[in-house]
Amino acid sequence: MKFLWDSALGLLVVTGGLLGLTLPFGKIATAAGVSAMVWALVISLGAGGVLLCVLLLRGQRIRLTPHRLRYFFVTAAVSYAFPNLLMFSAIPHLGAGYTGIMFTLSPVVTLVFSILLGVRRPNLLGVVGIVVGFVGAVMVAVTRGEAGQPAEFFWVAVGLLIPVSLAAGNIYRTVDWPLGTGPIELAVGSHLASAALLVCGIFTLQGSGSLALLAGVPLVVVGQVASAAAMFVFFFRLQAVGGPVYLSQIGYVAAAVGLFAGTMFLGEHYQLLTWAGAAIIVAGVFITTKAQSQIPTKAQNQTGEEVAA
């Protein structure tokens, strides 16, 4: 266990694998009638609740200020509630594996946003990576989900909004990180804020009866909560051991797990063009990751000090 705790590669595989389990768990739950909004609540409330217990056991607490509250709720909406709602809505139409491919586009879209907002200056390698990733995304998009079961373009568009939302969250969390606040405290506050937003949505749009369907998949609920909470524990350790560039690669592992679980256990099948497009997206992301590592920028760490990113 100590070797895993100090190994960037081991942490990458474990973190990405736990993230990838969200895809088959979500497909099983939605197939049982659980709504996307309710399943997104399971993740946010489960992860936030477990991490809150960890925080309290360490003798820490969540400190509420206007800035932190703003950070909690904006991060909750953009990074957790909205992309999870998109993901679990799209999975029944696109398949768990196809939806997982969308995770791999997040670093490319993040770099595009960084360039447009002036957070990073573009270089030639970064532009090449964006173009390559875009070509792969187009190839995946035209296949429209599982082989022989093409989804409507609306659901493909919903799937493509997932990396856009995640990328927006990546940028926001960087530029508005509250000074002197640790990542676990921010994760707890943001997940609980996400749970609050989702509860309001569920009671307003669906009613409390939609929660009763969770009783039909108790083991899946337990597995999802356990994997989500564990993922964030390993996530923060990976950030410390591997750094932000290495951390960004968890999407590749998550997509691989989603594709493997979908094809091996959920009966999904994908065209050769889908697999080729996914490989090209990965190549594009590797190029953009390399480009980001070559561009010195200033960012703030969790204590509010400026550090080179």
Report pLDDT digits (tens) over 44-76.
999 999 889 988 998 888 889 999 999 999 999
- Residues 169-198: what's their mean pLDDT? 88
Residue 269 CB partners (closer than 8 Å, separation 6+): 146, 147, 148, 263
**Predicted structure pTM score:** 0.84
Residue type, 97: G
Phi-psi region of 60 (alpha: psi -120 to 50; beta: other; left: phi over 0): beta
What's the pLDDT at 120?
A: 66
Residue 24 has pLDDT above 90, yes or no: yes
Whole-number Cα distances in Å, 176 to 67, 70, 71: 9, 9, 7
Q: Determine the distance from the C-alpha atom of residue 123 to the mean position of all C-alpha atoms in its chain, rounded to a whole number.
A: 26
Where along the chain do its domains lie? Answer: 10-308
| Tokens of residue 128, six digits | 């090449």
Q: In the chain, what percentage of residues exceed pLDDT 70?
A: 90
**Nearest Cα to Cα of residue 129 among 276, 282, 287, 290:** 287
The pLDDT value recorded for residue 301 is 43
Q: What is the pLDDT of residues 124-166, one digit of tens each?
A: 888 888 889 889 989 998 998 888 888 899 999 999 999 999 8
CA distance 98 to 143: 10
Backbone angle region of 267, left / alpha / beta, with phi > 0 → left and psi within -120 to 50 → alpha? left
Q: Name 69's Cβ contacts closer than 8 Å, sequence gap at least 6.
A: none
Per-residue tokens: 10: 């081991």
Reference 114, options 250, 298, 307; nearest CA is: 298
Q: pLDDT digit string (tens) for 95-113?
A: 999 999 998 888 788 878 8
**Interval 220-251: pLDDT, tens:** 999 999 998 888 778 777 867 776 666 777 88
Residue 251 and residue 19: Cα distance in Å, rounded?
8
List the structure tokens of 195: 């749970």
* Residue 167 structure tokens: 């990328």
